[in-house]
Structure 1
Amino acid sequence: MSKELEHAFVTELENNQNIVHKVCTLYTNDKDAHNDLFQEITIQLWKAYPKFRGDSKFSTWMYRVALNTAITLYRKSKRKVSTQSYESVIFKIKADEYDETEELQLKLMYKAVKQLGDIDKALVFLYLEDKDYAEISETLGISEVNARVKMNRIKKKLKTILNP
């Protein structure tokens, strides 16, 4: 891979790494698992980057890869996220500290969202990121109508979880 392509990837990843941190927070329960999943998602993004054609925004593509990686690993283990090493590439990415103790409401929301199924979690995540239903449907590979219906059902379910 060329240095230009590597530089472009690192720049995009640095600018959008909060996406990956948020996905990691949804699918892990502790800092070590969060860091392991972050590493695995970064590896998968790097492997897939040469095939990124730019048909969608980088962030949309990144959501899709991150969510697919998290869901795949979550389904495989259900307990602990395993990682693989990718020794041929060394990234020099400035890692922003992601403060998991921001606000009580955010923690409660994450706790409630973690009780949802894999696809529902991803849908809520994208919705909270202010993605429109067209982008949500493209990212998750479902129809726009299906995304809207699912979101309405999820909202009702979250209200029940948060206000028993």
Structure 2
Amino acid sequence: MDKQSAIYTAFLKELETHKGIIYKISYSFCKTKADCQDLTQEIIIKLWQSFGTYRSFSKTSTWIYRVSLNTAISFYRKEKTRNRIITTTHDSLLQLAEAAPAANRETDEKIAYLHQFLLALKEMDRALMILYLEGKALKEIAEIMGISPTNVSTKINRIKVVLKERFSKLNF
């Protein structure tokens, strides 16, 4: 196997191992399925472009999070400046929830609202919450985001207060 094939094989292995990170970030930053697919593709391209320069200074998952989040934030900002009309709304997510069994509807509805609330956050706050909801440690979030663990903790607590307030208005 030549060097280029070995690099390509290693990249595909890492991509397969960490594809959940990419899908999660894409879903969290996009309102439509098409945008989600476009962002996923953009993230994979950025990962491939920077794969040759990645040096194992941090865990591979940390590097993938960082590249994915930076790509998602840039993608989101581009979409925002184009004033693109978004046709998929929270109502369509609720329609999908209606098809679920009654016991799961309330949970699905809460998840749909959480997704809507996350989409309303600023890009960096959304990135923090994605990592937090993923169960990442403050230190790892800080490393991925390039801020101090104390700053991560403060920001997450503030965002939680805002989200709690929004949920309290829904009468669940």
The TM-score with structure 2 as length reference comes to 0.79
What number of residue pairs does the alignment pair up? 145
1:111 to 108, 116, 119: 116
Q: CA deviation at 1:76?
A: 2.1
Q: Please state how far the C-alpha of 1:77 moved relative to its aligned partner.
A: 2.4
The residue identity in structure 2 corresponding to 1:112 is F
User: Which ranges of structure 1 fall in alignment gaps of 5 or more residues?
Assistant: 81-99
Q: Distance between the aligned counterparts of 1:113 and 1:7, measured in 2? A: 35
Question: Which protein is bigger by CA-based radius of gyration?
Answer: 2
- Partners of 1:112 and 1:162 within 8 A in 2: no
Percentage of pairs with the same residue: 39
Alignment of structure 1 residues 1-164 onto 2, 5 Å? 2-78=4-80, 79=83, 103-164=108-169
Tell me which stretches of 4 or more aligned residues in structure 1 moved more than 6 Å: none
Q: State the TM-score, normalizing by the size of structure 1.
A: 0.83
The SS at the match of 1:114 is: helix
Q: Which whole-Å CA distance do the structure 2 matches of 1:112 and 1:77 have between them?
A: 18
Structure 2 stretches lacking a partner, 5+ long: 85-95, 101-107
Supply the RMSD in Å over aligned alpha carbons: 1.7
Distance, in Å, in 2 between the alignment partners of 1:116 and 1:30 is 17
